[in-house]
């Protein structure tokens, strides 16, 4: 009798398990093929999900990023380290060097933020350490002792243009003669060294002594900085009027069918993709952002076409890769915070509120938000071999968060 009961229980349990597995298999198939939706989230989980998805206030993220950068990456004299090592046992090549890109970015976002003390510290660093003695342009790279060595004595023209734009913002906030003096020195140096024979912007140039000057004569369109060109044109007229129009035409002509940009004009004035290593990456993105921020209708329309490419790729892949080919296919396997920072800033400048918020959400996904962390506020670079924070990614991200908060939260 007992054996029969036990056998009945076993058969019953097997039937339950079989029914459960059968139901589970059928349910999985229905969900997989989209015939029914997944079960709803529990109430608590749903509320948490909605709260994260609908976050609209990013001012705290901006403040944390700014504080980290000021506290960890700027020396007392205004020197900006190129990298901050997360793993102190690792050595990063050039970690404590600085360059004109880093300083000009600092000038730009501190001027926009109204941080006069930090802005003046950057200006003082330029005046004391970075100006080439004879022609007064910003030497592009200094070592940790603030000495320009080798090709560090040369000029990277986009940094000087960015600094000119930052000085204009600062002089409107805090009218001081020193800002105008420095701006004129940089503009004069660009005029003497930074322009090609056919009235375009060269990416690099330099001087040897008081007489010998040179520049590349090729053109990197990604170094174009239209707000500064417009300011120079308004202030001085020719040849900056012509330079603005020449660079505008060159940028518009460089856009390919899908909205991405060739980044280079060779010595023969053929289009090229050399700056992005044969594809479309950070330099193409720079062109889009600077066109979006130009306040020029034609350039903004061009940037809008470029932004449409990234919107369509994001809708398809739910990620933006660091590099694409001319067909618009990804040729890198990862994303990066700087991609979302740059695409996001273009979206903000073009007032695409919905997509810009998506890009900001992607950007802050990389940010360290643990307030107990030594690097709270940092936006690290994705290099597992050398965990680090780079000045470029941090400052591009700060500018984008700043633009978003200014446009949509104030």
Of 171, 161, 177, 274, whose CA–CA distance to 224 is shortest?
Answer: 161
Of 282, 403, 392, whose CA–CA distance to 352 is shortest?
Answer: 403
* CA separation for the pair 353, 316 (Å, rounded): 19
The answer to whether residue 292 scores a pLDDT higher than 60 is yes
Structure tokens that stand for 369 in this block: 């938000």
Residue 22: phi, psi to the nearest 5? -65, -45
* CA separation for the pair 10, 19 (Å, rounded): 14
User: Which pLDDT score, from 0 to 100, does residue 1 have?
Assistant: 47
* CA separation for the pair 199, 249 (Å, rounded): 12
User: Which pLDDT score, from 0 to 100, does residue 57 have?
Assistant: 86
* CA separation for the pair 181, 51 (Å, rounded): 49
- Range with the lowest mean pLDDT among 6-20, 51-65, 67-81, 170-184? 6-20
Angle at 64 between CA 59 and CA 69, to 5 degrees: 130
Q: What is the pLDDT of residues 91-131, one digit of tens each?
A: 899 999 999 999 999 999 999 999 999 999 999 999 999 99
SS in 3 state form for 85-112? ECCCCCCCCCCCCEEHHHHHHHHHHHHH
Average of per-residue pLDDT across 322-342: 97
User: Which pLDDT score, from 0 to 100, does residue 155 have?
Assistant: 98
Contact call for residues 262 and 256 (beta carbons, < 8 A): yes
DSSP symbols for 319-345: S--S-B-TTS-B-SS---HHHHHHHHH
The answer to whether residue 145 scores a pLDDT higher than 70 is yes
Structure tokens that stand for 232 in this block: 């120079």
The whole model's pTM is what?
Answer: 0.86
Residue 295: phi, psi to the nearest 5? 65, 20
Which residues neighbour 337 within 8 Å (Cβ) at sequence distance 6 or greater? 363, 366, 379, 381, 382, 393, 397
User: Which pLDDT score, from 0 to 100, does residue 329 have?
Assistant: 98
Q: What is the pLDDT of residues 303-316, one digit of tens each?
A: 999 999 999 999 99
Helix pair angle (177-193, 157-173), 10° resolution: 160
User: Which pLDDT score, from 0 to 100, does residue 9 have?
Assistant: 46
324 DSSP β-pair partners = 280, 330
Q: Which DSSP state fits 78?
A: S
User: Which pLDDT score, from 0 to 100, does residue 34 have?
Assistant: 37
Angle at 343 between CA 338 and CA 347, to 5 degrees: 145
Choose between 49 and 355: higher pLDDT. Answer: 355
């Amino acid at each position: 009798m007992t054996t029969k009961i036990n056998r009945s229980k076993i058969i019953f349990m097997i039937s339950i398990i079989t029914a459960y597995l059968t139901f589970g298999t059928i349910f999985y198939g229905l969900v997989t093929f989209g015939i029914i939706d997944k079960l709803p989230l529990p109430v608590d989980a749903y509320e948490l999900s909605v709260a994260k998805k609908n976050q609209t206030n990013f001012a705290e993220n901006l403040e944390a990023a700014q504080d980290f950068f000021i506290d960890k990456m700027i020396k007392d004299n205004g020197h900006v380290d190129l990298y901050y090592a997360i793993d102190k046992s690792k050595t990063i090549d050039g970690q404590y060097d600085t360059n004109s890109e880093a300083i000009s970015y600092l000038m730009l976002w501190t001027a926009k933020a109204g941080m006069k003390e930090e802005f003046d510290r950057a200006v003082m660093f330029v005046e004391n350490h970075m100006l080439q003695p004879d022609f007064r342009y910003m030497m592009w790279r200094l070592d940790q002792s603030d000495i320009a060595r080798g090709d560090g004595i040369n000029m990277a023209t986009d940094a000087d243009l960015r600094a000119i734009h930052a000085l204009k913002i600062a002089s409107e906030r805090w009218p001081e003669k020193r800002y105008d003096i420095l701006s004129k020195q940089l503009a004069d140096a660009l005029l003497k060294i930074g322009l090609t024979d056919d009235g375009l912007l060269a990416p690099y140039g330099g001087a040897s002594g008081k007489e010998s000057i040179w520049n590349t004569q090729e053109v990197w369109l990604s170094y174009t900085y239209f707000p500064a060109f417009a300011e120079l044109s308004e202030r001085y007229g020719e040849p900056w009027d012509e330079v603005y129009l020449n660079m505008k035409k060159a940028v518009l002509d460089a856009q390919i069918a899908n909205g991405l940009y060739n980044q280079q004009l060779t010595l023969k004035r053929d289009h090229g993709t050399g700056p992005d290593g044969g594809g479309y990456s950070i330099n193409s993105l720079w062109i889009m952002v600077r066109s979006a921020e130009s306040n020029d209708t034609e350039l903004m329309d061009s940037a809008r076409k470029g932004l449409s490419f990234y919107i369509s790729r994001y809708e398809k892949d739910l990620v933006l890769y660091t590099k694409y080919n001319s067909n618009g296919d990804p040729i890198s396997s990862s994303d990066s915070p700087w991609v979302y920072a740059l695409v996001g800033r273009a979206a903000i400048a073009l007032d695409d509120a919905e997509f810009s918020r998506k890009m900001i959400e992607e950007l802050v996904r990389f940010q360290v938000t643990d307030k107990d962390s030594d690097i709270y506020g940092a936006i690290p670079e994705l290099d597992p071999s050398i965990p680090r924070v780079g000045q470029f990614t941090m400052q591009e991200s700060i500018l984008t968060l700043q633009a978003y908060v200014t446009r949509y939260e104030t």
